[in-house]
Amino acid sequence: MTDEEAAEDKPTGPGRPRTFADVRAEVRRWGLRFAELGVQVLRYRYATAALVLLAVLALYGVAALSRPSGEAAVGVGRRIPVSSAVLACPGTRDGRVSALAPVTSRGAGRADVSSMADGQTLASLTRPGLPWSRDVEDAPDAYMVKAQGAPAAGLAAERTTYVGKGDDRGLAATRCAAPGNDLRFIGPGPLDADRIDVYLTNLDAQPATVDITALSGEGPLDTADGRGILVGPHGTRIVRLGDTPDGMGEIVTTSQLLALRVRTTTGRVAAAVRVRVAEEKGVDWLPVAGAPAATLTVPGIPSGPGGRRLLVAVPGQDDARVMIQVMTPTGAFAPEGRDTMDVPAGTVMPLDLEHALGGKAAAVLLVANRPIVAGFAAERGDDVAYGVATHPLTRAGGVVADNRFNSSLLLTAPGNAATVRVTTIGAQGTPGRPQDVRIAAGRTIEVEPTPPPGDADEGFGLLVVPLPGSGPVHAARVMATGRDDRLFTVLPIAPAVTTLDLPPVVDSPRVLLPVERRPG
**Closest C-alpha among 350, 399, 404 to residue 379:** 350
State the amino acid at position 401 in one-letter form: A
State the amino acid at position 339 in one-letter form: D
pLDDT at 16: 47
N-term to C-term CA, the chain? 44
Residue 114 covered by a domain: no
> How far is the C-alpha of 304 from the C-alpha of 358, rounded, in Å?
8
pLDDT at 517: 42
Task: Give the H or E element holding residue 6.
Answer: helix 3-8
Maximum Cα–Cα distance across the chain: 89
**Closest C-alpha among 88, 119, 103 to residue 152:** 103
Please provide the size of the chain in residues. Answer: 520
pLDDT at 42: 46
Q: Is the pLDDT of residue 7 over 80?
A: no
* Average pLDDT over every residue of 383-401: 97
pLDDT at 80: 85
Residue 22 covered by a domain: yes
> How far is the C-alpha of 288 from the C-alpha of 286, rounded, in Å?
7
The answer to which of 80-84, 151-155, 218-222, 287-291 has the lowest mean pLDDT is 80-84
Counted domains in the chain = 1
pLDDT at 501: 81
Sign of the torsion angle spanned by Cα atoms 275, 277, 282, 288: negative
* Average pLDDT over every residue of 405-423: 98
pLDDT at 503: 77
Q: Is the pLDDT of residue 174 over 70?
A: yes
Q: How many CB atoms lie within 10 A of CB 140?
A: 12
Sign of the torsion angle spanned by Cα atoms 397, 398, 401, 407: negative
**72 — pLDDT class (breaks 50, 70, 90):** very low
Secondary structure letter of residue 431 according to DSSP: B
* Average pLDDT over every residue of 478-488: 94
The answer to which of 187-191, 371-375, 454-458, 460-464 has the lowest mean pLDDT is 454-458
Higher pLDDT, residue 362 or 499 = 362
pLDDT at 32: 57
- Mean pLDDT, the chain, integer: 87
At residue 355, what are phi and psi to the nearest 5 degrees?
A: -70, -40
pLDDT at 404: 92
Q: Is the pLDDT of residue 384 over 70?
A: yes
Residue 52 covered by a domain: yes
Q: CA torsion angle for 170, 173, 179, 181 (degrees, to 10)?
A: -60
**455 — pLDDT class (breaks 50, 70, 90):** confident
Q: Is the pLDDT of residue 463 over 80?
A: yes
Higher pLDDT, residue 118 or 72 = 118
Its domain, for residue 10, covers 3-77
* Average pLDDT over every residue of 168-173: 95
Residue 474 covered by a domain: no
> How far is the C-alpha of 234 from the C-alpha of 275, rounded, in Å?
24
Alpha-carbon distance values, 167 to 277, 306, 362, 476 (Å): 10, 21, 30, 27
Q: In three state form, how does the secondary structure of 162-193 look?
A: EECCCCCCEEEEEECECCECEEEEEEECCCCC
Higher pLDDT, residue 192 or 61 = 192
pLDDT tens digit sequence for 229-260: 999 999 999 999 998 899 999 999 999 999 99
Q: Is the pLDDT of residue 25 over 80?
A: no
pLDDT at 255: 97
Higher pLDDT, residue 98 or 455 = 98
> How far is the C-alpha of 396 from the C-alpha of 387, rounded, in Å?
22
* Average pLDDT over every residue of 468-488: 96
Q: Is the pLDDT of residue 8 over 70?
A: no
Residue 66 covered by a domain: yes
Burial of 194 (0-12, 13-18, 19+ CB in 10 A): middle
> How far is the C-alpha of 497 from the C-alpha of 295, rounded, in Å?
22
Residue 201 covered by a domain: no
Q: Is the pLDDT of residue 213 over 70?
A: yes
**Closest C-alpha among 112, 92, 280 to residue 194:** 280
Contacts of 321 (CB under 8 A, 6+ apart): 340, 341, 342, 343, 368, 369, 370
CA angle 284–246–378, rounded 5-degree value = 20
> How far is the C-alpha of 263 from the C-alpha of 211, rounded, in Å?
5
Instruction: Measure CA 204 to chain center.
Output: 19
**510 — pLDDT class (breaks 50, 70, 90):** low
Helix-helix angle 20-43:47-66, to 10 degrees: 170
pLDDT at 14: 42
Q: How many CB atoms lie within 10 A of CB 201?
A: 28
Residue 49 covered by a domain: yes
pLDDT at 81: 85
**Closest C-alpha among 310, 313, 314 to residue 324:** 310
Q: What is the pTM of this model?
A: 0.83
Residue 26 covered by a domain: yes
> How far is the C-alpha of 425 from the C-alpha of 67, rounded, in Å?
51
Strand order from edge to edge, sheet including 257-266: 182-188, 257-266, 208-216, 229-231
**Closest C-alpha among 308, 239, 270 to residue 175:** 270
pLDDT tens digit sequence for 299-334: 999 999 999 999 999 999 999 999 999 999 999 999
Q: Is the pLDDT of residue 26 over 90?
A: no
pLDDT at 516: 45
pLDDT at 493: 99
**6 — pLDDT class (breaks 50, 70, 90):** very low
Q: Is the pLDDT of residue 520 over 90?
A: no
**480 — pLDDT class (breaks 50, 70, 90):** very high
* Average pLDDT over every residue of 208-222: 97
Strand order from edge to edge, sheet including 487-493: 443-447, 406-413, 474-481, 487-493
